[in-house]
Amino acid sequence: MLKIDSLSFQYGRRSALKELTASSNAGKVVALVGRNGSGKSTLLRLIAGLAHPSVGSVLWRGEHLARMAPSRRALEVSYVSQRPTLSIDLTVQEMIALGRFAARTRLDSILRIDQAIDLMGLDGLKERSFHEISAGEQQRCVIARALAQHESNGLLALDEPFSNLDPGETMRVFGALKQRAQAGALVVVAMHDLSLVDRVAETVWWLEQGQLVAAGVPADVLTPAKLQEVFHCEFIRGPQGLTLTSRV
Amino acid sequence: MSKRQLSGVVILAVLLVLGVVARLLISRDPTTGGVHFNWPDENIFVLRFGAVRSALVGGACLGLSGLLLQALLRNPLASPFILGLSAGAGLGAMIAAWSVSVVGAGSVGWIAFVAQGADGVIPGTVGSLAVLVLVYALGRRGGRLDPLTLVLAGTVVATICGALTLLVQSLMPPASRGDSWMWFMGQVPELPSSGAMWTAIVLLCASFAASFRSGAALDVANTGDDEAESLGVSLRTLRILLFICAGALASASVALCGPIAFVGFVAPHLSRLLIGSRHRALVPASVIAGAAILVWADAVRQSIDVGAGRLPIGVLTALIGGPVFLMVMRSRRMRAGEWSC
């Protein structure tokens, strides 16, 4: 279980998160939504244990994530950043294999890496250089690395992982994440496509100016009236779920 | 180790052996200027073998130091010379020598040990690490390390350190200065100081072990900071450990051979060209490449007379390494921003 208690975080004097309290059981996909700069990326970094809270705590299965040694935390929690970077020349397969750095069990690792490559549809690209594939393929590559990193009941924190993906690849990736959640993982994902959130997430956490303003199932949180008020766009909720109707 | 990595290491090792043989055999006829290959008599062999030992150890230190700096800073332009570590080590050693000879600090036991430790390696390490901290702080733009800003900061700090070294040297009595002018241009001593030599060997072995053990972590560290931490690497521990190794190696090479340009820059690039980017293989390859480059440079310069003696080795390495540096700086990957921190 992920438990966030009275969490505040500051960059210097600027407050990024204020008194945020939330929790979720494993086995779910939690979508973080909100406007740009609302604190989604900061919250994801804290959930991944990559920053120390200024106040409050983030606990995963009762343990403070920021206090765990990186080598131990990596066996439980994986993180995908908005912009994957790599300064050396590695193949797609080698890049995904970095996910097994903390595990150090060779036989099991080979199996997991192959499974992740298969899940993300990267079979034909595994010998290609990471720098020579498209942005969307790089995104799938780092998601595959996160999937290969730990047991299927771990915690995945993903920051806008669909930003470079076409609709087909988006559904493939979300299918893999859903499957991982059904196997006992907790998937926390920051995203902007609210129609997609409505269709695939079990829980939505809505952030505004560093505060959690709403949490619950998509149908309760993502109401057309609320979306109109915050984003100044028109949505309708029909049998197909939430749809954006505003035209430019 | 993959087939490519193994064959790359073998190629470098063969280059190294050929370089050693060339340096032992090559000689120049002072009257005709012709180059000959002959087995030297015992006295000459001692001198040539001394030069080979200096080049092997000094080059290996530079190769590994350059690799660690490039990997930790995620900057292909980094090297102990370009970032000013060599100049910082020279300044540290010179200040220590001045404090002993002029101020008389050598009369106090522990100060004498720190100031003269291992023929200047200890104060040199302090100097190179101080420069590294300064350049690291100056090389940041908008909270991130910028590769070119880092190089610019290193160049300026190196120039300042060079000027201060000259100043400190001029404050010393002539008798204490030794042949420091030759040292400034870089040299491969035929009779290396045993203190500097053994210290460099010990530091090289310890740094090699630490770097080889950290090879996989260095691969992971070349993703972003957040990604590397989330994959299980403690960046803080890795950086502290390996920056100290890089600084100590730069200092050891300076104590042994003076500041030699571009060997620490070219050796990791040559290794990458032959064996790829995995650091577990790059660590031994860069050590061998650094040693091979310096041995070959020392062998080649034996055949080049500039009128007042043989071409200084620092001049030769700069003439070869400078264009390689410019090629890397203008490379497609640099322009594409793939090397960023």
ipTM: 0.92
The DSSP bridge pattern shows strands A155-159 and A77-80 to be: parallel
Contact call for B227 and A81, based on CB within 8 A: yes
Contact call for A101 and B234, based on CB within 8 A: no
The two three-digit tokens of residue B192, written as one number = 């290396």
Which of A158, A154, A68, A76 minimizes the C-alpha distance to A120?
A158
Which carries the bigger pLDDT value, residue A36 or residue B333? A36
Task: Note if the pTM is more than 0.80.
Answer: yes
- Rg (chain B; Cα; Å): 20
**Is residue B260 assigned to a domain?**
yes
A106 contacts in chain B (CB < 8 Å): none
Q: Which CATH fold topology does A2-244 show?
A: Rossmann fold (3.40.50)
Give the Cβ contact number of residue A43 at 10 Å: 29
A89 contacts in chain B (CB < 8 Å): 272, 276-277
Contact call for A88 and B341, based on CB within 8 A: no
Q: State in Å, rounded, how far the first CA of chain A is from the last one.
A: 42
Contact call for A88 and B220, based on CB within 8 A: no
Interface check B133 vs A, CB under 8 A: no
In whole angstroms, give the CA distance from residue B58 to residue B41: 25
Among A69, A74, A87, the residue with its CB nearest the CB of B230 is A74
B230 contacts in chain A (CB < 8 Å): 48-50, 70, 73-74, 77-79
The 3-state DSSP class for residue A17 equals strand
pLDDT reported for residue B179: 60
The tokens 């091979």 sit on which residue?
B292
pLDDT tens across the length of chain B (341 residues): 788 899 999 999 999 999 999 999 988 776 776 777 888 888 889 999 999 999 999 999 999 999 999 999 888 889 999 999 989 988 988 888 888 776 665 566 666 665 565 567 888 888 988 998 999 889 877 667 777 788 899 999 999 999 999 898 888 877 766 666 666 778 888 888 888 899 899 999 999 999 999 999 999 999 988 999 999 999 989 999 999 999 999 988 988 888 898 999 999 999 999 999 999 999 999 999 999 999 999 999 888 776 667 788 888 888 888 888 888 877 766 655 555 44
Contact call for B230 and A70, based on CB within 8 A: yes
Check if the beta carbon of residue B70 is closer than 8 Å to that of residue B76: yes
Check if the beta carbon of residue A122 is closer than 8 Å to that of residue A141: yes
Residues 30-89 (A) with a CB less than 8 A from some CB of B: 45, 48-50, 69-71, 73-75, 77-79, 81, 83-89
Check if the beta carbon of residue A98 is closer than 8 Å to that of residue A145: yes
The tokens 């800003």 sit on which residue?
B149
Q: Is the pLDDT of residue A62 over 90?
A: yes
Contact call for B231 and A74, based on CB within 8 A: yes
Which of B182, B175, B206, B203 minimizes the C-alpha distance to B58?
B203
From residue A131, give the alpha-carbon distance in Å to each of A128, B171, B268, B332.
Answer: 8, 53, 20, 12
Q: Which domain holds residue B35?
A: 3-335
How confident is the model over A4-23, as pLDDT tens digits? 999 999 988 889 999 999 99
- pLDDT-based confidence at residue A240 (cuts at 50, 70, 90): confident
Residue spans of the domains in chain A: they are 2-244
pLDDT reported for residue B337: 53
Interface check A26 vs B, CB under 8 A: no
In whole angstroms, give the CA distance from residue A57 to residue A236: 37
Stretch A183-202: mean pLDDT, rounded?
91
- Closest chain A C-alpha to B226 CA, distance in angstroms: 6
How confident is the model over A152-181, as pLDDT tens digits? 889 999 999 988 899 899 999 999 999 999
Among B233, B276, B333, the residue with its CB nearest the CB of A101 is B233
Chain B residue with Cα closest to A76: B230
pLDDT reported for residue B150: 86
From residue B168, give the alpha-carbon distance in Å to each of A126, B102, B177, B207.
Answer: 57, 10, 10, 31
pLDDT reported for residue B340: 46
In whole angstroms, give the CA distance from residue B159 to residue A147: 49
**Is residue B340 assigned to a domain?**
no
**Is residue B96 assigned to a domain?**
yes
Residue B74 C-alpha from the chain's centroid? 18
**Is residue B341 assigned to a domain?**
no
The two three-digit tokens of residue B156, written as one number = 């300026």
Residues 32-71 (B) with a CB less than 8 A from some CB of A: 71
CATH number for the domain harbouring residue B257? 1.10.3470.10
Mean pLDDT for chain A?
91
Contact call for A89 and B341, based on CB within 8 A: no
A76 contacts in chain B (CB < 8 Å): none
The residues with which A28 forms a beta bridge, in sequence order, are A186
Interface check B4 vs A, CB under 8 A: no
Q: Is the pLDDT of residue A212 over 60?
A: yes
Q: How many structural domains is chain B composed of? A: 1
Q: Starting from the edge strand earliest in sequence, which strands make up the sheet with A14-24, in order?
A: A14-24, A2-11, A55-60, A63-64
B223 contacts in chain A (CB < 8 Å): 84-87, 98
How confident is the model over A130-144, as pLDDT tens digits? 999 999 999 999 999
